[in-house]
Structure 1
């Protein structure tokens, strides 16, 4: 779209975000996690294991030294909360006050609790980790080149208390049936976004569904799934 001008603010500065949002017709906030927030978790005891430490390749460059310090330091995601980071929440709140059309794109691998700001946003996109083509995909969706066809493969709770107990250090735990929708039903609470949530640029309606038996009409017959057809 050659007539569209994009104003990009690649910064965590709330003041800069407010300035850009006030000058645009539509404000898009891209927030979420990275490898340091929800990378592969390593039990701290293993990080101090001399045998394991010897497996790390020699670190020479500043980038390699930084990565080695990360691996030998606090485990990735060790203190991770499922809520948006405070700086992300501040960014979203600032943009809300400067632009009536606001979209939030969340970069994450799993559920993110959005309760503090969800009701103030025009649209929320769960962008996952889009890789090198993630920007193009986001643009195609926002410009309407493709439909927003994705649906949540899990539910997103309103509060972390609505999730099963989780201990990163445990070696054994039993949940029985109390997880997922079973746990929400037991607690008597609704999910912020239930399993299968997702909107589209169009509307769908199903009506006048009729189920007819096309075989196995005898009194002793036991129809199988293939004996039915939706008309």
Structure 2
């Protein structure tokens, strides 16, 4: 009996570990199209910024991108886009791409299909209210997905965008702008997708790293483009 219980516990642990790995994978999902990097020989890279917009940091970020003549993709939430529609419109007017990062930024692993639909379609509506007319790509909050979310994305012909470089996930090094920028420049390859969070007060290190990343990528001969432009280079 004890052996049977241990075997069952082992099976449960293995199953839960497998599900956790699946939910966190940046390169695989059960259904539909997931892209974490683009296969291209051109020296192109997409900078992607999650969350927001917010009134405190959007203008400065746009000014910096304009200074370096760079276009980026902003994965915005529905609730913040609705609340700060002026900033969302500024992003669009500056020629950047808006992507869908859900309405409430809650993990969508255990949401029902109805909840998933409301989260995504409500955010799509706000993105259109901001004046963005291009394809709306999607990125799940925290990069988490399991079964129903990929199934919904596949059945609504939506592309799930992940990343291959996330300098904010390197432990203590993510608090140092110089180190964050160095990690990006060391890892970057043609077709890379870089993930950053810039919109909140606690992301000061990321905002300080951004000009270092912009300058470093340009010095390495990379052109920074929107995700749609990067996908078109496949």
> Same fold judged by TM-score > 0.5?
no
Q: Could you state the TM-score of these two structures normalised by the residue count of structure 1? A: 0.30
Q: Could you state the TM-score of these two structures normalised by the residue count of structure 2? A: 0.29
Structure whose residues are more often helix by fraction? 2
Flag the structure with larger Rg: 1
